[in-house]
Structure 1
Amino acid sequence: MKNVEYQTRQLIREIKRSNVYNQYRRLQMKIVRDVELNRRVDEFRKACFMIQNGPQAPEDMGRLEALNEEYRDILQNSDVIEFLTAEQGLALMMNRMIDQIYSSLDFDVSFLDS
C-alpha cells in the first residue's frame, strides 16, 4: 500500500507540473481577483454542473441555452472563456486517467451503467 500511496503522490506532482493544470490555475487566479466576476462564473459553473450531471431530461438543451443567455455577459469575457476551456481540459484529463485505471483493473463498476 505504501508504494501505491507514493505513486499517487508522484502522479499528483506530475499533474501539478502539467501545462493543462498550470493553465487552469493561472486562469482561475485571474478570475478570482474580480470578486463579482468570480461569483457569477461559479454560479454558471454550478448551474451547468447540475444540468449536465442530473437525471437526463428532454428539456436539458433548452435549459442550457437559457443558462447561456442568462450569463451571456460573462460568457463574452475572453478570460472567462479561456478559464472554462481550461477547466474542461483539466476535467477531460482527469476523466481519461480515471477511465484508464478502471479499465486496467478487474474492478467491477458495471452496476453504474444500469
Structure 2
Amino acid sequence: MKNVEYQTRQLIREIKRSNVYNQYRRLQIKIVRDEALNRRVDEFRKACFLIQNGPSEPEDMRRLEALNEEYRDILQNSDVIEFLTAEQSLAMMMNRVTEQIYNSLDFDVSFLDS
C-alpha cells in the first residue's frame, strides 16, 4: 500500500507540473480576484453542472441556451472563456486518468451501467 500511496503522490506532483493544471490555476486566481465576477462564474458553473449531470431531460438544450443568455455578460469576458476552457481541459485530463486506471484493473463497476 505504501508504494501505491507514493505513486499517487507522484501522479499528483506530475499533474501539478502540467501545463493544463498550471493554466487552470493561473486563470482561476485571476477570476477569484474579482469577487463579483467569481460569484457569477461560480453560479454559471454550478447551473451548468446540474443540467449536464442530472437526469437527461428533453429540454436540456433549451435550458443551456437560456443559461448562456442569462450569463452572456460574463461569457463575453475573455478571462472567463479562457478559465472555463482550461477547467474543461483539466476535467478531461482527470477523466482520462481515471478511465485508464479503471480500464487497467479488474475492478467490476458494471453495476453502474444499469
Which position in structure 2 is the counterpart of 1:25? 25
Which position in structure 2 is the counterpart of 1:86? 86
Distance 1:66 1:42 in 2: 17
Which position in structure 1 is the counterpart of 2:52? 52
1:26 to partner: Cα distance? 0.1
Give runs of ≥4 in structure 1 deviating > 4 Å: none
Structure 2: give runs of 5+ residues left out of the alignment: none
Distance 1:15 1:51 in 2: 28
Counterparts of residues 31-50 of structure 1 (less than 5 Å)? 31-50=31-50
Q: TM-score, normalised by structure 1?
A: 0.99
Distance 2:109 2:49 in 1: 23
Q: TM-score, normalised by structure 2?
A: 0.99
Structure 1: give runs of 5+ residues left out of the alignment: none
Distance 1:61 1:29 in 2: 30
Alignment RMSD (CA, Å): 0.3
Whether 1:12 aligns to 2:12 is: yes
